[in-house]
Amino acid sequence: MIASNKQKIKRQEIDEISHRKNNVSDYMKNKTLSNIYLSLIFIFSIFWIGFIGMDYFQKHPNYLINIKAFSFYGTLAFVLLVCLGIAFVYTKFPKKIAALSRGLSIYLLVLFLISVTFISANIAAADLMNTAGLSFLGLLQMQGLFIKVSFFLFSIILSCYAAGNLFCNVLNVNFTDRSKNIIEIAIGIMLVVMISFLIGALKGLYWYVLGPVLLLIIGINWKQSLEFSKKIFWNKIKGSKKLNLLGVFCFLFLSYIIGMNLLQNLTPWPKGWDSLSLYVNLPNLIHDHHALVKGFQPYNWSLFMSFGLILFNSIETTLSLAFMGGVFCLFAMYPIARGTLKLDVNYSIMALLTFYLIPTIGFQSFLEQKVDLGLLFIILIIVNIILIWSKNKHKELNSLEPIDERIEAIPSLKNYDTLYLIIAGLLTGFAFGIKLTTLFSFFGIIGIIWYLNLGAIAFLGIALLSIFGILLVKLDDMSGMRQYHLSADVVQWTLLLVGAGLILFVSFNNRKGLFNCIKQSVIYGSFFVLTTIPWLGKNYIDAGKKLSFNYLMNGKSKAPVYNANTFDLNHQKTLKNGQ
Amino acid sequence: MDNRKISNSNKSFLKVAILLIAIAGVFFLLPSMAAKDKKETIGQSSVREEIQRYMGYEPLLQRYLSLPYDTSINSNVSGAFVDISFLVLALLPILFLFGFRTKPLLGISTMFLFALVFLISISNGSLFTQMGTVGIEQFKTLESNLKQESIISKAYQNIAFITQPLNRLIGNFSSNQDHVTYPIMILLFISGFFVLRNRISDLSIKTKSLILFTFFFSFLWVLLTAGIVWYGYPIIAISILLIFSGLFKKRPETDLFQKSASALGLGVLGVFIFVSTIYRFSNYQTYTNPQLSKLMFDLGEINYQSGKSNTKQVFDGFFPGGGWEAIQQINQEEKSLVYRVGTVFPYFIEKNDERVLLDNQLGIFYQLNKRYPKKELLASVLKANGYKYILVDLNTHTIDKTPERTLENKFKDFMNFCIQNQNLKLLATNRMIDASNDPQKPQYAYRVYGNIVPNKQGTYAIYEII
């Protein structure tokens, strides 16, 4: 079986090469012309990268200032050397160090490295501000806080895992080893948040209500929960045999940055504008009311973040739950890198490090606790599920196995088909309850469904129809841009005609494909709606049972509103009363 | 067989030619569809001030076409919170192009289109100077000591002979509002789709699905979000993976070209990882004050973590000038309403979901001010409606990037309302002024009006309506 798989892969590779060779244009057969063309591409690339790089740094002078003024080169060099040293020992003597490659060892290493950094940062601050340095007790205090919040986070995530795992076991749905745990965590977060939504609707969000519910979930699935805990902390990490110095180094350095980000979330309140105004203000209000807060756009991730305050009265845990979205993203990106893009394990980890170092991602990981990284995590999970589904779908459509085997295989694939779509739909609805921009992902997934059933032209057709729908309900007005597009109405109807025309064209000889597209889109869409219904219902009730698109999306808060007439009337009343 | 191949290559040439002619046609033949500029109404400009600043205020078509560039280079709004780095813009188009290394016609057309969109993006470009970021036209007229002459500023000036006419050309048929931007965007989406389909034809079904998803998502992001970076996070995450896949994925055949590309990419990634690590551990300081880059943590944060400060002390560190006491006072009166112009204080106000009227872009104030032009009267109207406190962000006007400066004007009016208003009492501010007339004997005080002490501009003020 393995041999036949290898042969299949080899055959695919040969097909790819021959496909490329057959596709080579006539020009390329002339070596001189070919070399001129390749040189042109290379020169263009150098200019492109050079110009963009220099332009970027010209407009970001702070990079150079920071590089010159940075006073932690020594600390950073120490951290890098430790990571490099361990990576070297790991790659040279993997068996000797294997006993240490456990989650707990990595956690302790990170704690050690962030403690060194913390001491160093304290010394610099004391020098700059002429204040007292860090005492040993102060260091212990920091470490205690770090461990405490880590424990709180782990217990919340464990309950999510237990819920997600239980859900998948009951439905008998399987994912690949690389993505299984992280998908189950995402599903678990969705389930746990939905439970807390119900409790919140009944005004029961107290620690003594939510806590036992989460414990019960862990208790029901105690075997898997225990296994998961052991896997995270104690079991030896099964690293790929292809891991080299680069991969291990990037992994350790990435772990250190994650640790630093967590440390910088341990503050008495959020630091960013948006988190103070909305995203952490909501968990704060939920904690105060012990219930859902009236109004606002759906706030699934803020509800999840409120667990920190409800369960442990710990604002640091609430802030760190926002940061966890970013960490989960790394775990969700890894299966895409390895499974879909077939990237080497070392470069995959380097890609994750690169992503995590992008300033806007870093900013939301420790300076501004918003919900965008949580949303990104859920979207990446949806993408993972759809990619697994697309592979199965492709197998189903292009099965090269003998007829008997195909007959046996297809029913199971079809079952998986529906389940994957259902889970993706549920998660999309959940993501929509984090931010309304999830609609972009929704339309993207619909596009993939049509692409896999009817091909690329159908993808284009459904994409144009989606844009038609977007323009029809004036979603482009949310950014206030609609008013500037004078041809929007004409464009939307043209899109309808062209999109529908393309769909008709490709489905003319493939009615079954069209039927499948519609069926699968309806399944996906229905389950998307299912998880949005609670929020729509809440907003409908908040708005005094008034039905409008605006109220359904945004609800109606209890905040005071400006009304010119009321303002006048109240003022007149006050004057009459002689105040 | 040969004849068929020639005819195939002729066909693709024809397709590309039709595509280019169509695009050129839309560019050149539709100037009559340009619309007169709509006059922006000051009272209805909140969305324009707050959201559209990420996109910029160039002619409409340029706003959309330059979004990938603006988002990567941060030419409209700057700061770590919108900084997605240069990686995606610098590497993804190049990797896309490398896929056409055996298809010169498509490769050259792609290069031409990339170059065209890039030139359109920078045709309204700006450069960083000691005065901050200024437009390229203003840059030319600056005194030499204010300029930061660099290779890039010279390059901008040298290619002005292309970018300026391009700018004028677009200005002919696109302005603040027009008929052509949507059709052109849709046309670009459709043509981009066909080029992309050709580019990814030999990839696996999963990879194709991933790329098509990202392509459509990206288009919707460009079309609908006004360039808000975090709405496009999935594009960044998937693009980084695609970049790594393009550069380092093991292939059955690896030629010198591929090796050179990998080396080039590795170099760019190395530079990025180095600078972004330093930036990260400088606490994302965007200030040009080198002293601040020497701190890895905020001072309040580090003191809290080591147990040196409690919540109040950290608060006083961030918001000196009596903020804590003012918030305590507001919290003692649960029924008094609060009128808020920015600031992050609602977080600290109990039941803020029921008590705080939000007016960050001063849209409500604009209407109130028109109705009650006398400042004392306006304060008494607010009081009559239950409002007892006003929270003001003293930097509200700084987000205003609109050409009309609508927010700046409203904020001036608002500050006029606050100054010497008999019905308002200043409770707290962290703005420091020098109350003395003698520069030798400064008398520092926390107030809103007066000679502001350098670097003590402050961020907030809290008033009580009496």
| A488 Cβ under 8 Å from any chain B Cβ | yes
Report CB contact under 8 Å: B294, A485: no
Measured between beta carbons, the chain B residues lying within 8 angstroms of A571 are 380-381, 384-385
Which of B193, B202, B306 shows the shortest C-beta gap to A460? Answer: B193
Alpha helices in A264-314 (DSSP H): 273-274, 281-289, 300-305, 307-312
- Please report which confidence band the pLDDT of residue B19 belongs to, taking 50, 70 and 90 as the band edges: low
Token pair recorded at residue B289: 């004050």
Q: How many CB atoms lie within 10 A of CB B11?
A: 10
pLDDT at B76 over 60: yes
Closest-approach residue (CA) in chain A for B134: A59
Are A427 and A461 contained in the same domain?
A: no
Closest-approach residue (CA) in chain A for B74: A59
How high is the pLDDT of residue B145?
A: 66
Closest-approach residue (CA) in chain A for B254: A17
Report CB contact under 8 Å: B296, A28: no
Distances (CA, A) of A67 to A62, A116, B287: 8, 21, 13
Are A428 and A442 contained in the same domain?
A: no
Residue of higher predicted confidence among B262 and B23: B262
Are A368 and A235 contained in the same domain?
A: yes
Contact A504, A518 (CB under 8 A): no
**Kind plus residue range of the DSSP H or E element containing B357:** strand B356-358
Are A171 and A221 contained in the same domain?
A: yes
Last-in-domain residue among A435, A458, A474: A435
Report CB contact under 8 Å: B152, A55: yes
Token look-up 């109990």 returns B350
Residue A304 distance to chain B (closest CA, Å):
18
Measured between beta carbons, the chain B residues lying within 8 angstroms of A40 are 108, 111
How high is the pLDDT of residue A461?
A: 96
Length of chain B: 466
Residues 223-282 of A with CB under 8 A from B: 257, 260, 263-264, 266-273, 276-277, 280-281
Distances (CA, A) of A84 to A123, A238, B267, B390: 25, 20, 20, 55
Instruction: Give tens-digit pLDDT for B389-400.
Output: 999 999 998 888
Average pLDDT over residues B56-85: 91
Report CB contact under 8 Å: B179, A370: no
Last-in-domain residue among A412, A435, A458: A435
Q: Could you give the CA distance from residue B313 to residue A258 in angstroms, rounded to a whole number?
A: 28
Reduced to 3 states (helix: H, G, I; strand: E, B; else coil), residue B429 is strand
End-to-end CA distance of chain B: 92
Which of B205, B212, B351 shows the shortest C-beta gap to A459? Answer: B212
Instruction: Give tens-digit pLDDT for B312-351.
Output: 999 998 899 999 999 999 999 888 999 999 898 999 999 9
Q: Which of B190, B174, B168 is nearest to B30 (CA)?
A: B174
Are A270 and A336 contained in the same domain?
A: yes
Closest-approach residue (CA) in chain B for A564: B368
The parent domain of residue A283 ranges over 74-435
How high is the pLDDT of residue B21?
A: 56
| A70 Cβ under 8 Å from any chain B Cβ | yes
Q: Could you give the CA distance from residue B51 to residue B218 in angstroms, rounded to a whole number?
A: 18
How high is the pLDDT of residue A18?
A: 46
Residue at A9 is within a domain = no
Residue A116 distance to chain B (closest CA, Å):
13
Report CB contact under 8 Å: A480, B226: yes
- Mutate: best of B52, B116, B198, B224, partner A, most A CBs <10 A: B224
Are A429 and A528 contained in the same domain?
A: no
Are A181 and A281 contained in the same domain?
A: yes
Are A482 and A391 contained in the same domain?
A: no
Residue at A64 is within a domain = no
Closest-approach residue (CA) in chain B for A280: B347
| A120 Cβ under 8 Å from any chain B Cβ | yes
The C-alpha angle with vertex A227 and arms to A225 and A228, in degrees rounded to 5, equals 65
Report CB contact under 8 Å: B284, A137: no
| A336 Cβ under 8 Å from any chain B Cβ | yes
Distances (CA, A) of A492 to A446, A495, B25, B65, B221: 19, 5, 21, 20, 17
Closest-approach residue (CA) in chain B for A363: B81
Which of A69, A337, A479 shows the shortest C-beta gap to B51? Answer: A479
How high is the pLDDT of residue B33?
A: 52
Residue A163 distance to chain B (closest CA, Å):
26
Are A107 and A177 contained in the same domain?
A: yes
Contacts 24+ apart (CB under 8 A), A394-399: A394/A452, A394/B205, A394/B206, A397/A452
Residue B85 distance to chain A (closest CA, Å):
6
| A23 Cβ under 8 Å from any chain B Cβ | yes
Are A343 and A466 contained in the same domain?
A: no
Return all residues near B332 (Cβ < 8 A) that are at least 6 apart: none
The C-alpha angle with vertex A544 and arms to A538 and A545, in degrees rounded to 5, equals 70
Measured between beta carbons, the chain B residues lying within 8 angstroms of A38 are 101, 257
> What counts of helices (H) and strands (E) characterise chain B?
20, 10
Report CB contact under 8 Å: B83, A363: yes
Are A99 and A146 contained in the same domain?
A: yes
Distances (CA, A) of B34 to A43, B66, B268: 38, 19, 42
Measured between beta carbons, the chain A residues lying within 8 angstroms of B302 are 118, 121-122, 125
Residue A331 distance to chain B (closest CA, Å):
12
Burial of A291 (0-12, 13-18, 19+ CB in 10 A): middle
Instruction: Give tens-digit pLDDT for B376-386.
Output: 999 999 999 99
Last-in-domain residue among A404, A435, A466: A435
Residue at A482 is within a domain = yes
Give the strand pairing for B387-393 and B444-446: unpaired
Residue of higher predicted confidence among B148 and B232: B232
Report CB contact under 8 Å: B344, A559: no
How high is the pLDDT of residue B32?
A: 47
What domain count does chain A have?
A: 2
Measured between beta carbons, the chain A residues lying within 8 angstroms of B87 are 354, 358
Q: Could you give the CA distance from residue A123 to residue A114 in angstroms, rounded to a whole number?
A: 14
Q: Give one word for B402, left, alpha or beta, with left for phi > 0 and alpha for psi -120 to 50.
A: beta
As a whole number, the mean pLDDT across chain B is: 85
| A63 Cβ under 8 Å from any chain B Cβ | yes
Closest-approach residue (CA) in chain A for B362: A562
Which of B12, B302, B385 shows the shortest C-beta gap to A125? Answer: B302
Residue at A26 is within a domain = no
| A125 Cβ under 8 Å from any chain B Cβ | yes
Closest-approach residue (CA) in chain B for A459: B212
Contact B297, B281 (CB under 8 A): no
Residue B293 distance to chain A (closest CA, Å):
6
Q: Could you give the CA distance from residue B94 to residue B96 in angstroms, rounded to a whole number?
A: 5
Are A397 and A484 contained in the same domain?
A: no
Measured between beta carbons, the chain A residues lying within 8 angstroms of B264 are 45-46, 49
Proportion of chain B in helix, strand, coil states, percent, rounded to 5: 60, 10, 30
Which of B216, B257, B288 shows the shortest C-beta gap to A447? Answer: B216
Q: Give me the tens of pLDDT residue by residue for chain A, a chain 579 residues long.
A: 444 555 554 445 444 444 454 455 555 667 788 889 888 998 999 999 999 999 999 888 888 888 888 889 999 999 999 999 999 999 888 877 777 789 999 999 999 999 999 999 999 888 877 777 888 999 999 999 999 999 999 999 999 999 999 999 999 888 888 899 999 999 999 999 999 999 999 999 999 999 999 999 999 999 999 999 999 999 888 878 889 999 999 999 999 999 999 999 999 999 888 999 899 999 999 999 999 999 899 999 999 999 999 999 999 999 999 999 999 999 999 999 999 999 999 999 999 999 999 999 999 999 999 999 999 999 999 999 999 998 777 666 665 444 344 333 333 445 557 899 999 999 999 999 999 999 999 999 999 999 999 999 999 999 999 999 999 999 988 888 888 899 999 999 999 999 999 999 999 888 889 999 999 999 999 999 999 999 999 999 998 888 888 888 888 888 888 888 888 888 888 878 765
Report CB contact under 8 Å: A361, B236: yes
Measured between beta carbons, the chain B residues lying within 8 angstroms of A379 are 234
Residue B414 distance to chain A (closest CA, Å):
17
How high is the pLDDT of residue A397?
A: 63
The upper half-sphere exposure of residue A290, i.e. CA atoms within 13 Å in the direction of its Cβ, equals 10
The ipTM value here is 0.91
